[in-house]
């Protein structure tokens, strides 16, 4: 670390990545500036301790930028853009095991379903996630957005959330970009082994539902129980519907039906003592120094097995409400189910990172593996008058969703005097397998004095279905960034140009079948439990066969792709003392398609194609008007493309909502204009106050809408005409030294943390006379008012998001006690059907407590962690309300969660 030798108080910040912070590492480094005469000022010691490792597009930028200031106590300040930063220490303080949980403490961010991060209340499609500056395909390929709970915090060096756009990032930048940087070269060798056990008050040791499955389900892997039989595989590959006739004899279909795995995938049983949650984590790193070379290895292996039981209501209303009746109408309940569901989620993840440093050059290679499986059993009991009038139905579902991500990355960051060069590339593959999605429905009858549930596979409310789906996606990405620093000019200046390429290719197949009987089933058979009903004996005795319904459930298969070629030019300069400008433009050529494929020789469905060129300018001005204060102003243009699953007319079960969803092949992309202003004050080490205002205009935003299909809710998507969003966010963090307040051993070296942030966001959809949209499924142009009302907020957007963090910490040893309070106001999950009000989610206020304590036992450093989550016992609520009436679309208890963990570092 070099100390300032000039008379002015100016510091040069070495940027080894783009305009965000710099990668692979942001190191606070003082340099001499010829424009800054003045008295010497020593660099505060705390700056030397602040090292943040970040890797993003843009390479080494082009060297140094001069920043005015008495000190640089926080890495946020060195950014050319509006960012929020989570260091390893910040992440550890939250006690979260995954990055999604840790990010919900960041100003303006909210986490939906514990997995998907929304920036400033905007929906998931407006949030971009990168890993070491490279695209990440989702391990749940039904979404292009990445569920960030798959990344354990132990593998990450930092997380940077950039909320103002700069052209070195992809143009799909709506609310912000979340860049995760993995650990590469550790400061020192380490080996950490950790484990935890925990429970939930509504799940652990309480009533839940399970089904047999296979021996390795607890690890998320199938042992062959769910393998598709050869006969069914051959039938699927034949290009013919599996129905008795010219292509398949009745006996062939019977044999295929009998070959399916039955009881292990069908029979749901009660479990009166659901087991606790458990996790294991192993992390290791080592560094070798050989002459001028420094080589590092970081490895991580993690496993967790969590259980969640949901018990509550699932209702909907089929009431049509014309606009003229909005003031007096009420909602009638047509579907009214009590439900109980238990999910067992098993995640296995691994990381192997290699890093090499020589001189000013750095190379990192990362290999990531994530295997994420959800095993679900669900029973619903109630009525659905819209589908089966006055019939009480008991419906059971079993499902297995196995998702996998494999990604390899290589990043080289090189610096030659005034020239910097970044080269990067990635390949990733993600898969989703869902064999044996079963749904079996029994109806209550009083005929013949039975007074029981029966299933004859024919009558209303009596059926058995099974589906098999698989999805495969390959992602290729590459980029190069070249930076040049101009010396000897009138003021500091640097230029960066870059090229980026990405190619996503996806194939998705879903095959649906319904069990039917050639002969009427005797009452004694119709009363049998599901695995007996579908037994081989009944298949051959009563002629029960599979009848393929794939052709009626949207596209049985679709292929999709998105290829992007992009180039950008960016200049950073300081035309006068304390004023810095970062401006540039990005050109993107995007070619996106979703091609539904008719597997059975029918008319090919409509192919969705979005092929466009975009010019995306951006500019940010930073004014350091005082030694520890600055203002930022930014403006940009960005885009938001529809996701593959939003375009594909294929039905699938969304596990987050327990509802079927189907894409709209007539969607188009959205374009955004963004503006922001932010004031920043860094008044001490790790202490800050910031406040900003932001505004966005979105042309043709994509919104989630609901339709009623045979009395059941099905979600789809449509383009609203226009939306406008504005808001304010504020963030403050302050440490109080306790030893200055009171004496005693407990207070020595301890600090009290007060951290709070608040975001207000207001969004409005604009619908004018004459505005139109395209009706999903048919392609018909209809008035936009059929789906949207003028003044509605965007789906997924909360008006208020607030976080409060209070905690004690010891500066000399590991001892932290933190209280975390998180609040998000109501937000719409989708537009209501048939003139009904929107479906509203109520996140509420959650209170968490995290205690971390370092111990030393037998020469080994230990970390004990105790967590209490959702201590306010907030339940999940999704509902509709109108004039005093309420429909609970999906409401259930979440319970309080408690976890104890112990980690040893050698």
Summarised one tens digit per residue, pLDDT across range 788-813 is 999 999 998 889 999 899 998 887 88
Helix (H) or strand (E) holding 852: strand 844-857
Q: How many CB atoms lie within 10 A of CB 743?
A: 10
Residue 92 · residue 852 · CB < 8 Å: yes
Closest CA to 83 of 624, 541, 731: 731
Q: In whole angstroms, what is the distance from residue 514 CA to residue 460 CA?
A: 14
Q: Rounded to the nearest 5°, which phi and psi values hold at 487? A: -110, 150
pLDDT at 312: 95
Q: Confirm if 501 and 478 have CB atoms less than 8 A apart.
A: yes
What DSSP string runs through 342-370? EEEEEEEEEEEEEEEEETTEEEEEEEEEE
Instruction: Kindly list the distances between the CA atom of residue 521 and the CA atoms of 462, 466, 538, in Å, as whole numbers in the listed order.
Output: 12, 20, 9
- pLDDT score recorded for residue 115: 64
CA 871-875-876 angle, 5° bins: 135
Q: Which residues of the chain have pLDDT under 50?
A: 1-50, 60-74
SS3 of 47, please? helix
- What is the reported pLDDT for 45? 33
Buried b (16+ CB within 10 A) or exposed e, 587-614: ebebebbbbbbebeeeeebeebebeeeb
Which tokens in the block code for residue 154?
């132990």
Q: Which pTM was predicted? A: 0.86
What's the CA gap between 364 and 366, in Å, rounded?
A: 7
Residues 6+ apart with CB under 8 A from 276: 197, 198, 199, 204, 205, 307
Q: Alpha-carbon distance 116 to 100, whole Å? A: 7
Peptide linkage before 24 cis (omega within 30 of 0): yes
Polymer length of the chain: 906
Distance, CA of 571 to CA of 550 (rounded, Å): 54
What was the pLDDT predicted at 102? 64
DSSP structural state of residue 240: S
Task: Please tell me what DSSP assigns to residue 5.
Answer: -
- Cβ-Cβ contacts under 8 Å for 97 (sequence gap 6 or more): 152, 153, 196, 279, 304
Question: CA-to-CA distance for 723 and 728, rounded, in angstroms?
Answer: 17
Q: Of all helices (H) and strands (E), which one includes residue 821?
A: strand 815-824
Region label for 223, one of left (φ > 0), alpha (ψ between -120 and 50) or beta (otherwise): alpha
Closest CA to 69 of 96, 47, 94, 50: 47
| Closest by Cα among 22, 115, 106, 121 to 62 | 22
- What is the spatial distance between Cα 797 and Cα 498, in angstroms, rounded to a whole number? 34
> Quick one: tokens of 324?
């003229």
């Amino acid at each position: 670390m070099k100390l300032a030798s000039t008379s002015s108080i100016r510091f040069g910040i070495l940027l080894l990545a783009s305009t965000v912070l710099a990668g692979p590492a942001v190191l606070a480094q003082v340099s001499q500036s010829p424009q800054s005469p003045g008295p010497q000022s020593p660099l505060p010691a705390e700056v030397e301790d602040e090292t943040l490792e970040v890797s993003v597009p843009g390479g080494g930028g082009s060297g140094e930028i001069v920043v005015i200031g008495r000190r640089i106590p926080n890495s946020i300040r060195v950014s050319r853009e509006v960012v929020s930063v989570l260091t390893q220490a910040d992440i550890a303080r939250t006690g979260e095991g995954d990055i999604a949980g840790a990010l919900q403490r960041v100003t303006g961010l909210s986490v939906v379903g514990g997995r998907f991060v929304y920036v400033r209340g905007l929906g998931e499609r407006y949030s971009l996630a990168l890993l070491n500056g490279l695209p990440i395909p989702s391990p749940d390929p039904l979404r292009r957005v990445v569920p960030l709970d798959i990344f354990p915090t132990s593998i990450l060096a930092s997380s940077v959330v950039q909320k103002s756009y700069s052209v070195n990032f992809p143009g799909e930048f709506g609310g912000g970009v979340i860049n995760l940087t993995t650990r590469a070269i550790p400061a020192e060798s380490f080996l950490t082994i950790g484990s935890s056990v925990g429970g939930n008050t509504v799940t652990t040791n309480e009533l839940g539902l399970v089904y047999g499955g296979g021996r390795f389900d607890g690890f998320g892997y199938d042992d062959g129980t769910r393998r598709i039989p050869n006969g069914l595989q051959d039938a699927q590959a034949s290009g013919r519907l599996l129905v008795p006739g010219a292509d398949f004899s009745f006996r062939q279909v019977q044999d295929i039906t009998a070959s399916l795995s039955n009881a292990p995938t069908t029979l749901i049983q009660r479990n009166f003592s659901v087991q606790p949650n458990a996790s294991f984590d192993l992390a290791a790193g080592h560094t070798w120094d050989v002459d001028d070379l420094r080589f590092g290895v970081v490895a991580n292996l993690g496993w967790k097995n969590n259980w969640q039981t949901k018990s509550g209501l699932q209702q909907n209303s089929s009431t049509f409400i014309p606009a003229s009746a909005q003031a007096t109408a009420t909602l009638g309940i047509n579907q009214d189910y009590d439900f109980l569901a238990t999910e067992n989620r098993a995640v296995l993840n691994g990381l192997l990172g290699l890093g090499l440093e020589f001189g000013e050059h750095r190379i990192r290679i990362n290999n990531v593996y994530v295997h994420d499986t959800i095993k679900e059993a669900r029973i619903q009991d109630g009525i659905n008058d819209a589908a089966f009038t006055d019939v009480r139905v008991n419906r059971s579902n079993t499902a297995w969703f196995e998702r996998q991500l494999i990604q390899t990355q290589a990043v080289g960051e090189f610096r030659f005097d005034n020239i910097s060069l970044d080269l990067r590339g990635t390949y990733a593959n993600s898969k989703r397998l869902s064999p044996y999605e079963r749904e079996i429905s029994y109806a209550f009858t009083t005929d013949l004095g039975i007074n029981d549930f029966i299933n004859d596979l024919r009558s209303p409310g009596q059926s058995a279905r099974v589906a098999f789906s698989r999805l495969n996606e390959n992602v290729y990405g590459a980029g190069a960034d070249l930076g040049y620093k101009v010396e000897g000019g009138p003021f500091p200046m640097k230029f960066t140009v870059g090229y980026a390429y990405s190619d996503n290719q996806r194939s998705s197949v879903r095959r649906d079948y319904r069990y039917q009987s050639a002969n009427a089933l005797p009452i004694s058979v119709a009363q049998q439990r599901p695995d007996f009903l579908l037994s081989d004996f009944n298949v051959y005795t009563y002629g029960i066969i599979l009848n393929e319904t794939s052709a009626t459930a949207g596209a049985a298969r679709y292929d999709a792709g998105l290829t992007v070629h992009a180039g950008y030019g960016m200049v950073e300069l300081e035309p006068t003392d304390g004023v810095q400008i970062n401006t540039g433009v990005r050109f993107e050529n995007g070619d996106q398609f979703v091609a539904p494929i008719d597997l059975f020789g029918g008319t090919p469905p409509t192919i969705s194609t979005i092929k466009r060129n975009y010019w995306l300018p951006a500019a940010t001005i930073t004014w350091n008007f005082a030694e520890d204060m600055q203002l930022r102003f930014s403006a940009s243009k960005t885009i938001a493309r529809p996701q593959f699953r939003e375009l594909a007319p294929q039905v699938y079960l969304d596990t987050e909502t327990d509802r079927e969803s189907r894409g709209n092949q007539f969607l188009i992309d959205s374009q955004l204009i963004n503006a922001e202003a932010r004031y920043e004050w860094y008044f001490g080490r790790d202490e800050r106050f910031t406040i900003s205002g932001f505004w966005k205009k979105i042309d043709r935003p994509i919104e989630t809408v609901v339709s009623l299909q045979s009395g059941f809710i099905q979600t789809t998507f449509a383009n609203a005409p226009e939306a406008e969003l504005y808001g304010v966010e504020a963030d403050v963090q302050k440490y109080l030294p306790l030893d200055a307040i009171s004496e005693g051993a407990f207070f020595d070296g301890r600090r009290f943390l007060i951290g709070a942030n608040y975001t207000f966001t207001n969004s409005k959809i604009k619908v004018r006379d004459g505005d139109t949209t395209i009706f999903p499924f048919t392609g018909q142009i209809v008035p936009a008012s059929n789906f949207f009302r003028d003044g509605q907020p965007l789906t997924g957007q909360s008006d208020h998001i607030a976080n409060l963090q209070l905690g004690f910490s010891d500066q000399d040893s590991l001892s932290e006690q933190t209280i975390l309070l998180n609040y998000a106001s109501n937000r719409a999950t989708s537009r209501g059907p048939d003139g009904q009000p929107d479906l509203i989610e109520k996140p509420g206020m959650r209170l968490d407590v995290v205690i971390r304590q370092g111990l030393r036992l037998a020469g080994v450093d230990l970390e004990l962690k105790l967590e209490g989550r959702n201590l306010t016992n907030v339940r999940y609520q999704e509902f509709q309300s109108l004039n005093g009436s309420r429909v609970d679309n999906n409401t259930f208890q979440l319970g309080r969660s408690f976890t104890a963990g112990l980690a040893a570092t050698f």
